[in-house]
C-alpha cells in the first residue's frame, strides 16, 4: 500500500537544500521522503555538480542517474550566489523556511554570508544542518571532502579485505550516505527541540565523524584492548574480530555467507566431524585453519543443497545475491521498494522508494529530480513577490 507524501510526518516543513553531490542532498532526500517540501538551491549555469557525476555512461534527460537517484521529489530554484539580487531572494526564502542544509567547504559559506549566525539572524527558528569532510576547524578541514578520501583516512578501508590484501574500499559512497543519515537524525532532533523552545539550532557532522562512528563497535574494542590491532583472517575474512566460521564461501554454483554459530553444531551438517574437536578459543586462534576446512567442503555442493541442510537446523546462512537475483526474489518484490518517477519534460526514471513505512504505508511522490530552476518562477511568486 502506498500513498503520496502530502500527509507525511514532516508535511508543512520547508527544506532548502543548498548542498551538492551526495551527503547533503541525501539528507534532504530523506526529509522529503518523510513529507517535507524540499527546494533545491542551484547555480543557474550547470546546477548541482552531481548532475554531471556519472557512475556509468547512462544519462537521463541530460543528468546522471546518480543525480536522479538522490534528488527525486525536489523542486529547483536557481540562484547565482555572486549576484546580490539573487542572494536577497534566497534570504527571503530562508526567512520562510524551516531547515537549511549546506555542505560547502569550511570558510565558503561565511564568505557568502549564509553561515548559521547570518541565517539565524534572518530566521531564529531555522534548523541549520552542515556537513563537511573532516570537521569545521581541524587541520584537515581544507582537504577535499570526498568519500573515498574520507574512507582512506578513517581506518575503515584498512579494516576491509583479507590479511594479505591491501586496503579495500567499500563498493559504495558509504561515508556520504552515513553522514547524510546522521544529519537527518540531528535535523529531526532540532525540529523537536524547536517545537519545545521555539528556537532553532545548528547541527553538523562530517564524513570523517560518520566513518569513525560507523566503526564504534570495533574501535571500542581496540581502545580497551591495549591498543592491539585486530588480525584479519587470511581465509574468507568478513570481520576481523569474529571467529570461524564467520565469512563468505564459494559453493559449486555461487557464494554462501555463514554467520556466528558453534562449530560442533555445524560439524555433522557438513560431515566434518573434526570441526567438533575445536574449542571456542580455537575458533579464533586457529580461524584460518578452520575456515580452510569449511571452504574445501562447501565448494563440493550447490548453494541450494547446503541451504536445504542448514536452514532446518537453524544455521545462520544466506546466499550472496547480485542485483538481478535480488530483484527476482518474491521477498524483495513484496517490499515494494521500487518506483518510477517522472517530470514535465517526459523524463522517466525507475529508482528506489523511501525505506521508511509509517503506519504500514510507504510514501511515494512520483516526482523525478528537477531540471535546473524548473520551479524558480513558481517559488518566486509564492515566497518572494508576495512578501
Q: What is the pTM of this model?
A: 0.92
pLDDT at 374: 95
Say which CATH topology domain 247-320 has.
formyl-coa transferase, domain 3 (3.30.1540)
pLDDT at 337: 95
The answer to whether 121 and 108 are in contact (CB under 8 A) is no
pLDDT at 387: 52
- Domain coordinates in residue numbering, the chain: 2-214+335-384, 247-320
CATH of 2-214+335-384, one of 3.10.20.30, 3.40.50.10540, 3.40.50.460, 3.40.50.10470: 3.40.50.10540
pLDDT at 15: 98
Name the helix (H) or strand (E) containing 191: helix 174-197
In sequence order, which residues have a C-beta less than 8 Å from that of residue 178 and are 6 or more positions away?
Answer: 210, 211, 213, 214
DSSP 64: E
pLDDT digits (tens), the chain, 387 positions = 344 445 799 999 999 999 999 999 999 999 999 999 999 999 999 999 999 887 777 888 889 999 999 999 999 999 999 999 999 999 999 999 999 999 998 889 999 999 999 999 999 999 999 999 999 888 999 999 999 999 999 999 988 888 888 899 999 999 999 999 999 999 999 999 999 999 999 999 999 999 999 999 999 999 999 888 888 888 988 888 889 999 999 999 999 999 999 999 999 999 999 999 999 999 999 999 999 999 999 999 999 999 999 999 999 999 999 999 999 999 999 999 999 999 988 899 999 999 999 999 998 989 999 999 999 999 999 999 865
pLDDT at 3: 42
From 33, 63, 98, 176, active-site residue? 176
- Examine domains 2-214+335-384 and 247-320 and report if their fold is the same: no
In angstroms, the Cα distances linking 138 to 175, 195, 208, 297 are 18, 33, 12, 51
Q: Is 176 a catalytic residue?
A: yes
The answer to whether 121 and 127 are in contact (CB under 8 A) is no
Amino acid at each position: 500500500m502506498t500513498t503520496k507524501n502530502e500527509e507525511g510526518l514532516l508535511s508543512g516543513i520547508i527544506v532548502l537544500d543548498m548542498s551538492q553531490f551526495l551527503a547533503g542532498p541525501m539528507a534532504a532526500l530523506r526529509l522529503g521522503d518523510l513529507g517535507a517540501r524540499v527546494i533545491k538551491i542551484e547555480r543557474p549555469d550547470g546546477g548541482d555538480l552531481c548532475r554531471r557525476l556519472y557512475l556509468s555512461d547512462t544519462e537521463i534527460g541530460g543528468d546522471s542517474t546518480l543525480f536522479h537517484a538522490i534528488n527525486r521529489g525536489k523542486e529547483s530554484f536557481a540562484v547565482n550566489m555572486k549576484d546580490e539580487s539573487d542572494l536577497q531572494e534566497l534570504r527571503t526564502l530562508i526567512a520562510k523556511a524551516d531547515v537549511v542544509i549546506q555542505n560547502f567547504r569550511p570558510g565558503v559559506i561565511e564568505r557568502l554570508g549564509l553561515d548559521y549566525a547570518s541565517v539565524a539572524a534572518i530566521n531564529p527558528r531555522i534548523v541549520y544542518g552542515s556537513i563537511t569532510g573532516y570537521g569545521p576547524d581541524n587541520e584537515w578541514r581544507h582537504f577535499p571532502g570526498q568519500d573515498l578520501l574520507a574512507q582512506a583516512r578513517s581506518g575503515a578501508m584498512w579494516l576491509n579485505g583479507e590479511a594479505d590484501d591491501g586496503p579495500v574500499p567499500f563498493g559504495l559512497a558509504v561515508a556520504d550516505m552515513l553522514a547524510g543519515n546522521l544529519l537527518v537524525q540531528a535535523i529531526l532532533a532540532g525540529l523537536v527541540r524547536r517545537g519545545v523552545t521555539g528556537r532553532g539550532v545548528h547541527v553538523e557532522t562530517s564524513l570523517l565523524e560518520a566513518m569513525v562512528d560507523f566503526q564504534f563497535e570495533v574501535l571500542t574494542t581496540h581502545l580497551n584492548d591495549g591498543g592491539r590491532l585486530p588480525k584479519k583472517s587470511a581465509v574468507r575474512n568478513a570481520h576481523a574480530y569474529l571467529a570461524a566460521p564467520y565469512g563468505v564461501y564459494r559453493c559449486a554454483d555461487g557464494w554462501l555467507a555463514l554467520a556466528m554459530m558453534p562449530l560442533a553444531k555445524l560439524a555433522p551438517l557438513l560431515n566434518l566431524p573434526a570441526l567438533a574437536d575445536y574449542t571456542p578459543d580455537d575458533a579464533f586462534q586457529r580461524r584460518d585453519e578452520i575456515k580452510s576446512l569449511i571452504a574445501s567442503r562447501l565448494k563440493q555442493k550447490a548453494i541450494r543443497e547446503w541451504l536445504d541442510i542448514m536452514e532446518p537446523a537453524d544455521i545462520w546462512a544466506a546466499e550472496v545475491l547480485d542485483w538481478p537475483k535480488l530483484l527476482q526474489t518474491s521477498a524483495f518484490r513484496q517490499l515494494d521498494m521500487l518506483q518510477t518517477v517522472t517530470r514535465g519534460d517526459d523524463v522517466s526514471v525507475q529508482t528506489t522508494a523511501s525505506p521508511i513505512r509509517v503506519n504500514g504505508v510507504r510514501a511515494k511522490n512520483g516526482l523525478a529530480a528537477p531540471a535546473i530552476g524548473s520551479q524558480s518562477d513558481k517559488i518566486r511568486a509564492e515566497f518572494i513577490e508576495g512578501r
